[in-house]
Amino acid sequence: MHGYIAQLVIGFTLAWTGPIIPKLQDPIETPLSVQLSDTQLSLVASIFYVGALPGPYIMGWLSNVKGRKPCIIIAGVVSTTAYLILAFSNNLAMIYCGRLLIGLGLGCVGVMNFVYIGEIASTNIRGILLTIIGIFQTAGAILAYASGLFLSYVGVTSVGFFLAFIFTIFALFLPESPMFYVLKGEDASVRKVLEDLGRPNDIDEMITSKKEFINSTAKKDWKELFTDADNRKSLTILIVGNIFLQCLGIIPSALIGEMFKTNVRSKGSAVAITSSWVFGFLVTTAFGSLIDIIGAHVLFWFFSCSSALAVIFTHIYIPETKGKSLLEIQTFKT
């Protein structure tokens, strides 16, 4: 359930500028004392992605050092704080600051949510859980637009604050990921968490897998991400998939929680999600200008062709993960 709340926050935040930018343009509804230019409004939308870029890398390191749960809590606190800043903004600098900070928060939430769900879910339901969260992300976006119809700038932003706050509170009661305990060699903790999650049959396999990570270090993990054939293949698939993210929706993100080996999962996820943020920034920043330069019809023909290429790419390169354990998926042997 917590993962679904996370996606509500992500969906709401990604759509926040939809109802908010018209309010910033309205002399009556805007909390600002000046009229914003088109460039400034565009930056309000796109600066979010700049803030999101370091999030996955911070979490990629911290999640292997302190655990998945503390990282999720930190991400929630950052997101909640960002919405507070946005709610009380009375100048453009505060809005930029809030958008940068919410980008950082969601950069952290995005990577940790998929990694965490991918690690705690059992094989038979993992794919379903990772896919259903896309519905909640869409629901979050719908909530943002619906709120914009009836609420003021502060009201809409307050909805985002309460979603982020609830996410943070729920995070306090999450169990730690068993994979973190595998990395730390804490067999007793692995057993306890898996038993609490109703996965006693996975205990032996997961404890056995720790042999791969006995000599693991951050430097070795980064090197392995790019030199190991399986990890490199996973990374390539996810980066290309994230370029097609506008066409494939949540699927590339869902795969993030399944594709990498345990010791490099957070780092590989960080690189993959970064590609999504970078592409999102480019699309958001350039969309308005491209419509003026080449016309909307050309731009949407481009998106149509991208969708067709995405279908071909998916059929040829993206592996079926249904019913497979994480170890089976990571080696592409079944």
- Burial of residue 300 (number of CB atoms within 10 Å: 0-12, 13-18, 19+): exposed
Q: What percent of the chain has pLDDT over 70?
A: 83
Mean pLDDT over each residue of the chain, to the nearest integer: 81
- Mention every residue, 6+ apart, whose C-beta is less than 8 A from residue 79: 9, 13, 102, 105, 106, 109, 164, 167, 168
Of the candidates 15, 17, 10, 12, the residue with the CA atom closest to the CA atom of residue 108: 10
What's the pLDDT tens digit per position in 211-269? 565 556 667 777 878 888 777 887 888 787 777 665 655 555 566 666 777 667 767 77
35 pLDDT exceeds 80? yes
Alpha helices (runs of H) in 54-152, residue ranges in sequence order: 54-65, 68-87, 92-120, 123-150
Helix or strand holding residue 273 (H, E): helix 265-294
How far apart CA 140 and CA 221 sit, in angstroms, is 35
Residues 151-169 have a mean pLDDT of 95
Residues 313-328 have a mean pLDDT of 69
Least confident piece of the model among 38-42, 87-91, 119-123, 248-252: 248-252
How high is the pLDDT of residue 333? 42
33 backbone dihedrals φ, ψ, rounded to 5°: -95, -5
**Superfamily of domain 2-174+215-331 in the CATH hierarchy:** MFS general substrate transporter like domains (1.20.1250.20)
How high is the pLDDT of residue 217? 63
Q: In terms of pLDDT, which residue wins out, 177 or 313?
A: 177
Q: Which residues of 14-38 are buried (b: 16+ CB within 10 A; e: fewer)?
A: bbbbebbbebbeeeeebbbeeebee
Q: Which residue has the tokens 């809030």?
A: 98
How far apart CA 49 and CA 281 sit, in angstroms, is 5
Helix (H, G, I), strand (E, B) or coil at 197: coil
How high is the pLDDT of residue 211? 59
Ranges 96-110, 128-142, 288-302, most confident: 96-110
How high is the pLDDT of residue 245? 61
Residue ranges per domain, the chain?
2-174+215-331
